[in-house]
Amino acid sequence: MAGGTEDVRKLFIVTTTQNYFGLESGAWDQPLLYHSPEINNFLDDGNQMLLRVRRSDSGVSFSNTIDFADTKDKVLVFFKLRPEVVTDQNLHSNILVSSMLESPINSLYQAVRQVFAPMLLKDQEWSRNFDPKLQNLLSELEAGLGVVLRKSDTNLSKLKFKEDDIRGILTPNDEFQFWIEQVHRGNKQISKERACYFKELFETVAREFYNLDSLSLLEVIDLVETTRDVVDDVWRQTEHDHYPESRMLHLLDIIGGSFGRFVQKKLGTLNLWEDPYYLVKENLKGGISICEQWVIACNHLTGQVWQRYVPHPWKNEKYFPETLDKLGKRLEEVLAVRTIHEKLLYFLPASEEKILARVFEPFIGLNPVQYNPYTEPLWKAAVSQYEKIIAPAERKIAGKLKNYISEIQDSPQQLLQAFLKYKELVKRPIISKELMLERETLLARLVDSVKDFRLDFENRCRGNPGDVSGPLSGKNLSEVVNNIVWVRQLELKVDDTIKIAEALLSDLSGFRSFHRSAEDLLEQFKLYEQEQFDDWSRDIQSGLSDSRSGLCIEANSRIMELDPNDGSLKVHYSDRLVILLREVRQLSALGFVIPAKIQQVANIAQKFCKQAIILKQVAHFYNSIDQQMIQSQRPMMLQSALAFEQIIKNSKAGSGGKSQITWDNPNELEGYIKKLQSAAERLATENRKLRKWHTTFCEKVVILMNIDLLRQQQRWKDGLQELRTGLASVEAQCPLIWQSKWEGPEDPLQYLRGLVSRTLAIQSWVERAEKQTLLSETLDLSELFHPDTFLNALRQETARAVGCSVDSLKFVASWKGRLQEAKLQIKVSGLFLEGCSFDGNRLSENEHDSPSVSSVLPCFMGWIPQGAYGPYSPEECIPLPLYTSAERDRVVANIDVPCGGGQDQWIQCGAALFLKNQ
């Protein structure tokens, strides 16, 4: 066996070393190394099992042992499977090669995690023959090594733990696991409470990241938004020490990496060139959205929100996930290629589609979702070849697209939509040149749009929100926030016009003038925004020095007190503070930096906001409880009311009760609030119970008073007995003053009341009939003993007036106004409806709190010829029976009531009309 440069074994060692460390042949003394005793020992001595190669600043060195210092440099290790002399024959069957980076623990962890665990645990063949106990041990080894790495003690040294050391954090799951481990472990740098706080925040998204590959693209789009909120909460929390900036930077990076790999894996299952366009488009848009949303989130958080967050500002430059951004742009290019192809097919006749038959051949062998700097030149070359192939097709369809757009260019909206729909084609140089005139027209439309936006802004910017001449008004927004949101919406519209022009019109002569005008308008919007914010800041800061403004809250001030003038209970936490909190939160979300003084007041107000809201609820209850009580029941609630008032008056802290409870005493305040709530609830419960008794008895008495003893004697007796039974059940609990309210009439009196009422009413009807004014006044049919007889008499009089038989007339009613076809008509009131509601226009379902019976608006009734048109069409009406009473024992007439269709619905709910009881 040769021992010099012809030695195949040494050539293998030297070549492998040279390739691994990236050494040039002249950079080291190969002949000298060929005679290295360490190499000779490893090759020629069967007992020597290992050869270590280390590269340091001083050069390359060999050794037959590994020591602790080797972890500081790159290390390559050759070792034998069997204790044999290395020969040409066993060179490749007996020597293993392994590298070592950072530390032996990290190298072992990565080898187990990336190579051996997947092979031995997930591969069916290996896992079937691998002892389950050994499988568990291997899993435990992987987990244990990960714990050691996340503790940052990678070199097994005595160095102190550093929270910002993230060498063991390779995925978001590693970060989540890190905080879980700290909850169970804890140390001087990270308290268990702080670790638990972060762990709970991350739990919002942890499950989704653990199962990321099983999610759909749409689910991950939602996950991006949720993750953005979670990392924002982690960064902005003030309950514990701040989250380290270097750790957050790394977390944003590995989250972006996870999203990128997810997108690549999902889209890698598709054939992007041959699968149906709608399927490819949907998936590509999902992938693009994931990339774009995370890039925007990182830019916004680290470039604006966190840099302006005074309690924990972002100090580095804004973080930009470049790789994810370029992956998103690659996906946009892929979508553009497929979209252009689809649009070309749309315009080309079927006989000429063969032009595009081989259009995707340049992309064969390329996986476009695998973006990296090495694949970029190949991708660009393929795109260039693709563009050459589609050039003939572009020339053919340019004229067709021109004709299509020319037909709609008089409609600005349609013109814009057409350009947006075919923007991928319009961007193509050949087509863009052909559409020069149409693009000029579009630019003119965009110029007009910018002028309109400018005019609208100038007309409204000085008005009040909601006014005709003021900014458009949103819901639950203060004036400053409303104005800024309004101008932001205008900004988006102008920005959209700029983007369209930049994409399709940048080569036109008028583009620069348009662009300057639009940018100038955007600058005006920005100035208006800042003016609004500055005015608000000045007003608030001025109010902070005015004790009457409601913006001042002292932590050591009393929480509430009784007003000596009117006895009302007042909480020392104004509604203006609640509005300020909302304004600070909304303006911060809009990207404004809140002045330190205002932020400090907002922080104090936020600290006490929860307790203040509860106290305000209690105060409102105290101030309004007398209005909720029934006068005659107040003596029944005296004890509960006095107990509640006593708690309010004695708001003292401590067991001795010597000092007043203040905002800065959270434990005493919490206990006091609970006492208040408990007393208020007892008083409210007692009042509700008494009111329910009172209301129930009132309803029963009203029912009795409205029962007609001429026709409903048994019902009256049953109701009276029910009332007596109810009163007897509560007699022991109620004072005489309340019981005395329920004395009522006996049977004869009730009977006479109904009889006399109708007798007097009929006399009035007779007098009006003699004066010939009966039909001109509003009538109540319930005043008659037989209202159906009266309606039949009206029918006969109408037949005489029209000169036709009574059978040729039909009965109609109108809530629209007088009946045009009726010779004689009456206006009727006193109608009631059960089963639904009626507003005079159409029937509607009852709400859960609606009364079961509701009154009906007065209407006109009369008889008209069968062939005449009534006030409503048959399709929009339902005939409802009109009964003499709610018992529905006798029908007076059937009345068509407008319902808007769906007659079955009203039949099922039992809708019916009846007359008022006398």
pLDDT at 885 over 90: no
* Per-residue confidence (pLDDT) for residue 814, from 0 to 100: 94
CA angle 249-252-253, nearest 5°?
85
pLDDT band at 133 (very low <50, low <70, confident <90, very high): low
* Per-residue confidence (pLDDT) for residue 389, from 0 to 100: 86
* Per-residue confidence (pLDDT) for residue 745, from 0 to 100: 46
26 backbone dihedrals φ, ψ, rounded to 5°: -90, -5
pLDDT at 618 over 60: yes
The count of other CB atoms within 10 Å of the CB of residue 104 is 17
The count of other CB atoms within 10 Å of the CB of residue 216 is 11
pLDDT digit string (tens) for 325-343? Answer: 999 999 999 999 999 888 8
Structure tokens at 817: 């106004």
Residues 6+ apart with CB under 8 A from 781: 787, 790, 791, 828, 830, 892, 915
Report, in angstroms and rounded to the nearest whole number, the Rg of the chain calculated over CA atoms. 43
321 and 295 in contact (C-beta within 8 Å)? yes
Helix (H, G, I), strand (E, B) or coil at 462: coil
Nearest by Cα to 885 from 845, 830, 825, 839: 830
CA 593 to the chain's CA centroid: 24
915 and 832 in contact (C-beta within 8 Å)? yes
pLDDT at 156 over 50: no
- Residues pairing with 834 in the sheet: 853, 912
Question: Helices 104-111 and 132-150 sit at what angle, rounded to 10 degrees?
Answer: 140
* Per-residue confidence (pLDDT) for residue 111, from 0 to 100: 74
* Per-residue confidence (pLDDT) for residue 582, from 0 to 100: 87
Structure tokens at 47: 């007992």
Which amino acid belongs to residue 147?
V
pLDDT at 746 over 60: no
Q: What is the 3-state secondary structure (H, E, C) of 278-331?
A: HHHHHHHHHHHHHHHHHHHHHHHHHHHHCCCCCCCCCCCCCCCCHHHHHHHHHH
Q: What is the mean pLDDT of residues 622-631?
A: 74
CA angle 164-167-171, nearest 5°?
100
- Residue-range domains of the chain with CATH: 8-150 (no CATH), 160-320 (no CATH), 435-525 (no CATH), 546-744 (no CATH), 770-915 (3.10.490.20)
* Per-residue confidence (pLDDT) for residue 188, from 0 to 100: 60
pLDDT band at 154 (very low <50, low <70, confident <90, very high): very low
Structure tokens at 239: 């309950």
Q: What is the mean pLDDT of residues 170-183?
A: 87
pLDDT band at 794 (very low <50, low <70, confident <90, very high): very high
Spatial distance between the Cα atoms of 518 and 541, rounded to a whole number of angstroms: 35
The count of other CB atoms within 10 Å of the CB of residue 190 is 20
Percent of all residues in the chain with a pLDDT value above 90, rounded to a whole number? 25
Helix (H, G, I), strand (E, B) or coil at 664: coil
Most confident of 274-288, 418-432, 659-673, 749-763: 274-288
- Residues pairing with 214 in the sheet: none
Spatial distance between the Cα atoms of 508 and 439, rounded to a whole number of angstroms: 8
pLDDT band at 318 (very low <50, low <70, confident <90, very high): very high
pLDDT at 455 over 50: yes
Nearest by Cα to 741 from 727, 758, 762, 720: 727
pLDDT at 260 over 60: yes
Most confident of 542-551, 600-609, 790-799: 790-799
302 and 318 in contact (C-beta within 8 Å)? yes
pLDDT at 344 over 90: no
pTM of the predicted model as reported, rounded to 2 decimal places: 0.57
* Per-residue confidence (pLDDT) for residue 14, from 0 to 100: 85
* Per-residue confidence (pLDDT) for residue 187, from 0 to 100: 62
Q: What is the mean pLDDT of residues 688-707?
A: 79
Distance in Å from the first CA to the final CA of the chain:
129
pLDDT at 131 over 70: no
Q: Say which residue, 143 or 384, is predicted with more confidence.
A: 384
683 and 640 in contact (C-beta within 8 Å)? yes
Q: What is the mean pLDDT of the chain?
A: 82
784 backbone dihedrals φ, ψ, rounded to 5°: -100, 150
732 backbone dihedrals φ, ψ, rounded to 5°: -70, -25
Q: What is the mean pLDDT of residues 709-736?
A: 70
438 and 446 in contact (C-beta within 8 Å)? no
Spatial distance between the Cα atoms of 497 and 416, rounded to a whole number of angstroms: 10
Nearest by Cα to 173 from 189, 196, 150: 150
Percent of all residues in the chain with a pLDDT value above 70, rounded to a whole number? 85
50 backbone dihedrals φ, ψ, rounded to 5°: -145, 145
Burial class (CB in 10 A: 0-12, 13-18, 19+), 512: exposed
877-883 vs 891-898, strand pairing mode? antiparallel
